[in-house]
Amino acid sequence: MGGMQETDDIMHARIIVPSPCRRGGRGEVSRNNSTISKFMEEKNTIHLDSKLFYIFGGALIIALVVGLVLSFKTNAFVGKKAAEAAEAARPAEFKATLVDALDCADCFKLDGFLAAVEKENVKFVEKKTIDWKSDEGKALVEKYKITKIPTVIFSGEIDKNVKLKNAWSGIGEIIDGNFVLRQNMAPYIEVATGKTRGKVEIFFLKDDSCAECYDVMGHKQILGSGFGLPTQDTKVLSVGSGEGLMMKNKYNITMMPTFVLKGEVEAYKSLINIWSKVGTVEKDGAYIFREGVKQMGAYKNMMTGMVVKTEAAASSQQ
């Protein structure tokens, strides 16, 4: 019996021995729970920070991409405008083919016309002159229906310059993409007859006794530069004697100084258009400058012998 009691005591002792997990009691459990809570809070904080990082990082990447796209578009726009400006500033490239009469010393020269075109931001990459009587010249005359020589044919970028593009129809014609000058200045050769048209003689008349009268040679520049008349064949005559006196009496000229035109004056359309306001056309075809004298300055009335000072003369003296 004593042995059984001892055994029960030992078993009871084992039963009441506290397990390791209960050592420390509630305080230990509380500390463990606090540690776990802190760990979970830190874990949640890290997780939140990661989300914010990805959100803001993604937004930054998107902003950078949008910025790059906008920058690319802006640069492309600016580049396009710069290219357009450079293209607009680039001279138009022309090829000029002059169809000329190499044996016509009196014919109008196209040098001035070509120079005027070149000033409009045009570059002549090629210039060649072809005699209208040559085989190549005859082919061009036939192809472009040329009726007056000299003329010029422009090929190339003839529509690049807006100003010139708008002017072509007023002075010529576009055929097969090339410009052909039609409004030829005289003197010129009439292709149908081979004759030179527009030859003019100019006679400047003056009274040597009139020191106050306007300078008759001022007409030379006006007729040449303003109306395109050839001024090589000119004469200056005094009405006091000889040919000048005969011309004064023949045409009953009453105001001096003045000028007389003879020849194919009708070839100069711009002059013909205003002539009725400044002069007369005689039966023999001579053109006498009459009423226009009053617009030039001081002149001599040949009927009274008096010098007439006009408003134009007064203005020129001031």
> Comparing 79 with 161, which gets the higher pLDDT?
161
Q: What is the Cβ-side half-sphere exposure of residue 248, based on CA atoms within 13 angstroms?
A: 21
Residue 145, sorted as left (phi over 0), alpha (psi -120 to 50) or beta, turns out to be left
Per CATH, which fold does 198-317 belong to? Answer: Glutaredoxin (3.40.30)
Has residue 14 got a pLDDT over 50? Answer: no
pLDDT band at 261 (very low <50, low <70, confident <90, very high): very high
pLDDT tens track for 58-112: 777 777 777 776 666 666 666 777 776 777 789 999 999 999 999 998 899 999 9
Task: Tell me how far CA of residue 311 lies from CA of 70, 297, 316, 317, in angstroms.
Answer: 69, 7, 9, 10
pLDDT band at 298 (very low <50, low <70, confident <90, very high): very high
Query: What's the pLDDT score for residue 316?
Result: 53
**Mean pLDDT lowest among 12-21, 45-54, 217-226, 308-317:** 12-21
Query: What's the pLDDT score for residue 77?
Result: 62
pLDDT band at 50 (very low <50, low <70, confident <90, very high): low
Query: What's the pLDDT score for residue 7?
Result: 44
pLDDT tens track for 190-248: 999 999 999 999 999 999 999 999 999 999 999 998 898 988 889 999 999 899 999 99
Overall pTM > 0.85: no
CB 291 within 8 A of CB 277: yes
Residue located via tokens 């109306």: 227
Per CATH, which fold does 92-190 belong to? Answer: Glutaredoxin (3.40.30)
Q: Which string of DSSP letters, residue by residue, matches the chain?
A: -HHHHHHHHHHHHHHHSPPGGGTTTHHHHHHHHHHHHHHHHHHHHHHHHHHHHHHHHHHHHHHHHHHHHHHHHHHHHHHHHHHHHHHHHSPEEEEEEEEE-TT-SSSPPSHHHHHHHHTTTEEEEEEEEEETTSHHHHHHHHHTT--EESEEEEEESTTSSHHHHHHHHHHEEEETTEEEE-SPPSSEEETTTTEEE--EEEEEEE-TT-SSS--TTHHHHIIIIIT----SSEEEEETTSHHHHHHHHHTT--EESEEEEEE-GGG-HHHHHHHHHHEEE-TTS-EEE-GGGGGTS-EEETTTTEEE--HHHHHHH-
State the average pLDDT over residues 122-135.
Answer: 96
